[in-house]
Amino acid sequence: MKSSDRLEKVAEFNSSISAHSVRILLEANGVKAMVVGDVMNETGLELVSVYIHAEQVETARVIIRDIPAASEVLIPSWVCSCGAEVDAGFHCCWSCGEETEDPSSEE
């Protein structure tokens, strides 16, 4: 027994529904996942976290990248080429509809 018992947080959500749908998707792909904080989230004050075993982090990240719901929290706020400021969690510009691929590459 080495690091296999260690858990790592791979995603955070402000709704337990999103967190659980990610957990279900991960488990459908063979990654055992755990949702933490969904009880506290009933107050709407706590983020709901998805934890997985450390050794499966790489696999989980690839899966999560392909989940639209996960992008809610994985995309930071960004500035569109049209000049509009887009809030974190949106990959489409609210003003012109342009999509961002990699917000961090913005000049």
Under the criterion CB under 5 A, does residue 95 sit at the interface with Zn ion?
yes
Pairing of strands 78-79, 33-36: unpaired
Contact between 93 and Zn ion per CB under 5 A? yes
Residue 106 phi, psi (nearest 5): -60, 135
In 3-state terms, what secondary structure has residue 29? coil
CB of 56 to Zn ion, least distance (A): 37
Closest distance to Zn ion from the beta carbon of 98 (Å): 5
Residue 95: other Cβ atoms inside 10 A:
12
Of the two residues 62 and 88, which places its CB atom closer to Zn ion in the complex?
Answer: 88
Q: By C-beta, is 74 or 79 nearer to Zn ion? A: 79
Q: Which are the contacts of 91, defined by CB distance < 8 A and separation ≥ 6?
A: 71, 75, 99, 100
Considering only residues 51 to 90 of the shown chain, the ones binding Zn ion according to CB under 5 A are 80, 82, 84
| Amino acid in position 25 | L
**For Zn ion, the closer CB: 39 or 84:** 84
Q: Which positions lie near Zn ion, rule CB under 5 A?
A: 80, 82, 84, 93, 95-96, 98
